[in-house]
């Protein structure tokens, strides 16, 4: 019975064997991965309204998922009105429509068992609809009415303002939020759109008319990229979309692209004093743009360094070997509009923060100065190649990937040779990009925790010290003014 179950388990994961069951997992043999990524052009449609839509059929379940990316975002907030894009994005759904009060809209959506949402982030607006395929006509009518004719009900707007202010009051309570906020300021400066915070004054200054004006300026079909997946016939759905969006006037002119930071970060050690028993650490520097020809090699290099969980060097050293953190890892982002960031992130006891930081520095230096092993490279390349099909595993994922690539200006043939680019990487390529793009002299080391305990370190390991550190005070949570 056990042997039968083992055989079934091996069959389920797609491996092959000859005769006997392998004695060790490393002896398992897998068939070659045969996967050709789908082409976005096969699913791309230009609607009569000017919107771009990607339609991917999936008849397994009687459901339809529709999402839209809107060319807008927090980077377009006017001076003194920080939070306008975010508030407008959320209230498109929450504030009802011109013809339906919020409660009525909520009831109609619940009657259809439809999930309808909207929001706005730093670089885009978004909205989505999930409903049964039999209800797509009613659901689509509600969805487009919400996008086209938002009501921005005053009572819901006031509720959203109050919730935003309550959230502001807790800004300095969460160490994770503090870490992200202060690292972004150290990386981008405090005059970039992503680091200028909303305040009590800016949120209270936002009026319903501001939201109507913002909506009219950026929400129109020519500014939309749609992703539609589910149980429908493509030509039939195209007709429904054209009908739903008909009569919606587009605005002339292009929406401005997000700006690039005008700031040169410098390395150093920084501590935000927060009386907790662990130090939350983020250490890193600027990343690259996705147009950088080395970004695929950088992705593989970072996987070996800290991006691949338990197989990565940082996790092995900091957690497995030294027991200094439960999790530790790294990211090396490639941005679409400006440089992403490289960051190593972990939490450790206050007394061991300095030791963990020193180990991470050692691993960065080792990655820069010594070649990775062929085995490390092959494992990471295999992980990247084998996980690649997951991007397109479902109709919803395919449509979303196509829409995101279109929105961000990624070339249509980008994925065609992706695996070949990964598989072609050599040990020398990894060491070259590590030496070039990992920059120890520019490392920003930010620690959020008990500053006195962290600076004292571990008396049993006196050789580990953070070194001179600049303390960053916590700002007033409502005004975001920092003490001198």
CATH number, position 287: 3.30.830.10
The reply to whether 78 and 214 lie within a common domain is yes
Check whether residue 23 and residue 49 sit in a common domain.
no
Residue with tokens 């339906």: 100
Residue 259, in any domain of the structure: no
| 254 is a domain residue | no
Q: Which residue has the tokens 């490279």?
A: 377
In the block, tokens 């129109």 appear at 220
Q: Is residue 459 part of a domain?
A: yes
166 membership: H or E segment, kind and range: helix 154-169
Question: What are 274's two structure tokens?
Answer: 């927060």
205 plus 119 within the same structural domain: yes
**Residue 339 lies inside a defined structural domain of this protein:** yes
CA angle (171, 175, 180) in 5-degree steps: 80
Same domain, 234 and 272: no
Q: How long, in residues, is the chain?
A: 484
Look up residue 451 and give its two tokens.
Answer: 């500053």
* Full residue range of the structural domain in which residue 326 is found: 268-471
Per-residue pLDDT of the chain (484 residues; tens, 9 = 90+): 444 444 444 444 445 445 578 887 777 776 766 788 999 999 999 999 999 999 999 999 999 999 999 999 999 999 999 999 999 999 999 999 999 999 999 999 999 999 999 999 999 999 999 999 999 999 999 999 999 999 999 999 999 999 999 999 999 999 999 999 999 999 999 999 999 999 999 999 999 999 999 999 999 999 999 999 999 999 999 999 999 999 999 999 999 999 999 999 999 999 999 999 999 999 999 999 999 999 999 999 999 999 999 999 999 999 999 999 999 999 999 999 999 999 999 999 999 999 999 999 999 999 999 999 999 999 999 999 999 999 999 999 999 999 999 999 999 889 999 999 999 999 999 999 999 999 999 999 999 999 999 999 999 999 999 989 999 999 999 999 999 8
DSSP H or E run through 204: helix 200-205
In a shared domain, residues 240 and 275: no
Which residue's entry shows tokens 């700002």?
Answer: 475
Residue 263: inside a domain: no
Residue 484 lies in a domain: no
Q: Is residue 128 part of a domain?
A: yes
* Domain identity same for 291 and 182: no
281 and 233 in one domain? no
Phi, psi values for residue 34, rounded to 5°: -120, 95
Q: Do 377 and 349 belong to one domain?
A: yes
Same domain membership, residue 282 and residue 171? no
Same domain for 333 and 277, yes or no, is: yes
Q: Comparing C-alpha atoms, which of 280, 260, 271, 86 is closest to residue 188?
A: 260
How many structural domains are present in the chain?
A: 3
CA–CA–CA angle 49, 51, 52 (5° rounding): 140
Strand order in the sheet with 63-70: 44-46, 52-57, 224-230, 63-70, 125-132, 115-120
Contact by Cβ (8 Å): 348, 322: no
Q: Is 212 a member of any domain?
A: yes
Q: State whether 332 and 456 are in the same domain.
A: yes
Dihedral over alpha carbons 453, 454, 460, 462 (to 10 degrees): -120
How far apart CA 114 and CA 139 sit, in angstroms, is 7
Same domain, 88 and 234: yes
């Amino acid at each position: 019975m056990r042997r039968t179950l083992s055989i079934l388990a091996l069959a389920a994961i797609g491996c092959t064997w000859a005769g006997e069951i392998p004695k060790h997992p490393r002896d398992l043999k897998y068939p070659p991965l045969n996967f050709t990524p789908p082409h976005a052009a096969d699913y791309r449609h230009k609607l009569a309204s000017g919107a771009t839509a990607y339609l991917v059929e999936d008849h397994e379940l009687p459901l339809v998922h529709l999402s839209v990316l809107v060319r807008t975002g927090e980077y377009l907030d006017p001076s003194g009105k920080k939070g306008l894009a975010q508030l407008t994005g959320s209230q498109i759904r929450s504030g009802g429509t011109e013809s339906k009060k919020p409660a009525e809209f909520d009831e109609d959506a619940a009657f259809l068992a439809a999930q309808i949402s909207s929001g706005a982030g730093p670089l885009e607006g978004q909205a989505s609809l999930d409903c049964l395929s039999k209800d797509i006509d009613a659901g689509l009518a509600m969805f487009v009415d919400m996008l086209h004719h938002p009501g921005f009900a005053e009572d819901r707007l006031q509720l959203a303002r109050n919730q935003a202010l309550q959230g502001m009051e807790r800004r300095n309570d969460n160490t994770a939020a503090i870490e992200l906020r202060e690292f972004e300021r150290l990386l981008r400066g405090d005059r970039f759109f992503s680091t200028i915070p909303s305040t009590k004054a800016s949120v209270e200054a936002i009026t319903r008319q501001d939201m109507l004006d913002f909506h009219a300026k950026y929400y129109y079909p020519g500014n939309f990229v749609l992703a539609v997946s589910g149980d429908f016939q493509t030509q039939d759905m195209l007709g429904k979309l054209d009908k739903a969006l008909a009569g919606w006037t587009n605005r002339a002119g292009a929406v401005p692209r997000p700006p690039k930071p005008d700031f040169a970060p410098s390395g150093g050690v920084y501590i935000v004093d927060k009386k907790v028993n662990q130090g939350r650490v983020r250490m890193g520097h600027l990343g690259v743009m996705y147009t950088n020809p080395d970004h695929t090699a950088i992705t593989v290099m970072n996987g070996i360094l800290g991006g691949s969980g338990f197989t990565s060097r940082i996790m092995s050293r900091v957690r497995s070997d030294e027991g200094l953190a439960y999790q530790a890892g790294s990211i090396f982002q490639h941005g679409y509009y400006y440089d992403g960031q490289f960051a190593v992130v972990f939490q450790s006891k206050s007394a061991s923060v300095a030791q963990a930081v020193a180990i991470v520095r050692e691993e960065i230096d080792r990655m820069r100065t010594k070649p990775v092993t062929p085995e490390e490279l092959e494992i990471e390349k295999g992980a990247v190649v084998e996980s690649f099909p997951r991007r397109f595993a479902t109709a919803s994922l395919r449509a979303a990937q196509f829409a995101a690539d279109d929105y961000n200006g990624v070339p249509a043939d980008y994925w065609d040779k992706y695996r070949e680019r990964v598989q072609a990487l050599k040990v020398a390529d990894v060491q070259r990009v590590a030496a070039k793009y990992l920059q120890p002299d520019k490392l920003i080391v930010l620690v959020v925790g008990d500053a006195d305990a962290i600076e004292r370190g571990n008396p049993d390991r006196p050789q580990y010290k953070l070194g001179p550190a600049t303390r960053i005070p916590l700002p007033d949570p409502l005004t975001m003014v920092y003490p001198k």
